[in-house]
């Protein structure tokens, strides 16, 4: 999906819970907070964490200059199962 | 040392395709940004995704309140996203960032589909390009994806 959108001329960035999988698919810009598969943007109802992850991921559009970069974000949420 | 031409592993290995890269040409604060997610997000009034594999997608317009959204996806624990859709589809956070001037606006069209298997060829050749086409038609400047 990310590839198709980039091919259409729109830059993209993805939040990845599984960075190695995203790397395998050739994503151009990736943020990697420490999150589970079910909560990429952070803990449910934690507005501050979600906003920080969303904002800092969007800012990678401006700062990543190398295709395929994966940038770790300093946020962690471990789901209670 | 002997060299055998055309020798090939019998084990299938994943192939990483070359990265597709569109350069960013304007500041984030001037961008209309769409959300697109493979997390199976859609309107509560929409048809649910088929858990066995589904290549269709749902449009989520920019004015939809987050409490009208839900998830149908058989490939991950839906517990958190059922409590708060924003943890996979941060639509309220995007609106707040637009209000603060970090981005120009949330896009008029956003997309939910169900990743995690299904007909990958169809996704690559049909679903992806169709979503991309609609994003272009609505003059979207950038896309934030989740479910990677």
> Nearest-CA distance from A74 to chain B in Å?
16
Tokens 């906003």: give the residue: A51
- pLDDT value at A44 more than 90: yes
Query: Which range (A49-58, B110-119, B122-131) has the least confidence?
Result: B110-119
> Nearest-CA distance from B3 to chain A in Å?
30
State the Cα–Cα distance between residues B129 and A31, nearest whole angstrom.
Answer: 23
| Residue-range domain boundaries for chain A | 2-70
Query: Does ipTM surpass 0.85 in this model?
Result: yes
CB contact under 8 A, A10 and B146: no
pLDDT of the residue at B9: 81
CB contact under 8 A, B14 and A24: yes
> Nearest-CA distance from B39 to chain A in Å?
8
pLDDT of the residue at B45: 97
- pLDDT value at B120 more than 80: yes
Task: Considering only the beta carbons, identify the residue of A1, A21, A24 that sits closest to B131.
Answer: A1
> Nearest-CA distance from B25 to chain A in Å?
9
Query: Which range (A5-14, B13-22, B122-131) has the least confidence?
Result: B13-22
Give B-chain residues touching A59 at CB under 8 angstroms.
28
**Cα separations (Å) of B61 from B48, B58, B66, B99, B108?**
17, 10, 11, 17, 5
- pLDDT value at B122 more than 90: yes
**pLDDT band at residue B4 using 50, 70 and 90 as cut-offs:** confident
The 10s digit of each residue's pLDDT in B29-72 is: 999 999 999 999 999 999 999 999 999 999 999 999 999 999 99
pLDDT of the residue at B1: 66
- B140 close to A (CB below 8 A): yes
- B21 close to A (CB below 8 A): yes
Which candidate, B84, B41, B78, B62, places its Cα nearest to that of B140? B62
**Cα separations (Å) of B116 from A32, A33, A43, A54, B99?**
19, 20, 22, 22, 33
Contact A31, A57 (CB under 8 A): yes
CB contact under 8 A, A54 and B97: yes
């Amino acid at each position: 999906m990310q590839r198709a959108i980039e091919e259409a001329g729109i830059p993209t960035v993805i939040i990845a819970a599984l960075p190695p999988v995203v790397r395998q698919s050739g994503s151009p810009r990736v943020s990697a907070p420490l999150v589970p598969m079910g909560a990429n943007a952070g803990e449910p109802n934690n507005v501050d964490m979600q906003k920080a992850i969303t904002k800092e991921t969007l800012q990678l559009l401006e700062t990543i200059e190398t295709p395929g970069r994966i940038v770790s974000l300093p946020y962690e949420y471990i789901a209670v199962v | 040392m002997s060299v055998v031409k055309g020798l090939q592993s019998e084990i299938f290995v994943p192939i990483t395709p070359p990265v597709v890269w569109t350069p960013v040409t304007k500041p984030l604060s001037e961008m209309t940004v769409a959300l697109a997610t493979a997390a199976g997000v859609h309107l509560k009034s929409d048809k649910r995704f088929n858990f066995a594999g589904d290549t269709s997608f749902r449009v989520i317009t920019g004015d939809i309140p987050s409490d009208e959204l839900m998830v149908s996806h058989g490939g991950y624990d839906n517990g958190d996203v059922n409590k708060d859709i924003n943890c996979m589809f941060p639509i309220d956070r995007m609106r707040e960032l637009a209000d603060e001037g970090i981005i120009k606006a949330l896009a008029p069209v956003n997309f939910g589909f169900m990743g995690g298997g299904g007909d990958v060829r169809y996704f690559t050749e049909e679903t992806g390009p169709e979503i991309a086409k609609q994003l272009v038609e609505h003059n979207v400047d950038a896309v934030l994806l989740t479910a990677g």
